[in-house]
Structure 1
Amino acid sequence: MNEEKKQAVQALKTSKGQIEGIIKMIDDGRYCIDISNQIIAAQSLLKKANMLILKQHLNHCVREAFLNDEGEEKIDEIMKVLTKLIGK
């Protein structure tokens, strides 16, 4: 497993722990703003993990596709993901 994937897995594991903590906060009737702040922190980790996975994809899969003159499909894939990320 390369470095980007290792970092992504770590971010996902951390966010999993945060989400479990958020559920407990809700069950315990904690203050809504505190819960919201924890949700934002978990979202940030999920975004970080996604960016690491996309970086790995660009550095390996897309690069290899261009070396084999098969890059157009990879560009379309990336554009679809970017469209989802920016919400357009």
Structure 2
Amino acid sequence: MAKATPTKSGHKHERKKGSLAAFPEVKRAVQRRMRTVVGHIQAIERMIEEERYCVEILKQIAAVQAQLSNISHELTKSHMKGCLTGEIHAGRGEEAIEELAEILKYLR
């Protein structure tokens, strides 16, 4: 049986519950997009080593930040559709709202 781990709000989740295991298509998409981000970051490292123009580097950094933001939003959407909806249907709406508020703090 999976071990329960508390979140900052004190709400306990099974380790697999709330994970990408429940969303294999999202997991694959996130993995693919993260590989793209890693490649992009490696390219930025090369640009720095090559002493490229700062504006070019900054544009690439902004592109990586946008990619990570998109990944965060996709994960949040999946979590809301699956996990938070389940919590609400199970009568734990207050906990779901607290968890959503915790998530939103990190998406600024």
**What's the TM-score, normalizing by structure 2?**
0.72
Between Structure 1 and Structure 2, the one with more helix by share is 1
Q: Please tell me whether the aligned partners of residues 15 and 46 of structure 1 are also in contact (alpha carbons under 8 angstroms).
A: yes
Deviations for 1:15-47, whole angstroms, at most 9, x for unmatched residues? Answer: 111011111111111110000000000011100
| Identical amino acids, percent of aligned pairs | 31
Aligned residue type for 2:74: L
C-alpha distance in 2, partners of 1:13/1:74? 31
Between Structure 1 and Structure 2, the one with more strand by share is 2
Aligned residue type for 2:27: K
CA RMSD of aligned residues (A): 1.4
Bigger Rg, structure 1 or 2 = 2
C-alpha distance in 2, partners of 1:9/1:48? 13
Q: 2:73 aligns with which of 37, 42, 51?
A: 51
C-alpha distance in 1, partners of 2:93/2:33? 29
Unaligned regions of 5+ residues in structure 2, if any?
1-22
Aligned residue type for 2:58: S
User: Which residue pairs with 1:34 in the alignment?
Assistant: 56
Unaligned regions of 5+ residues in structure 1, if any?
none
Query: Which 4+ stretches in 1 moved above 3 angstroms?
Result: none
Deviations for 1:43-66, whole angstroms, at most 9, x for unmatched residues? Answer: 111001101100110010001111
Aligned residue pairs: how many?
86
Greater shift in the superposed pair: 66-75 or 5-14: 5-14
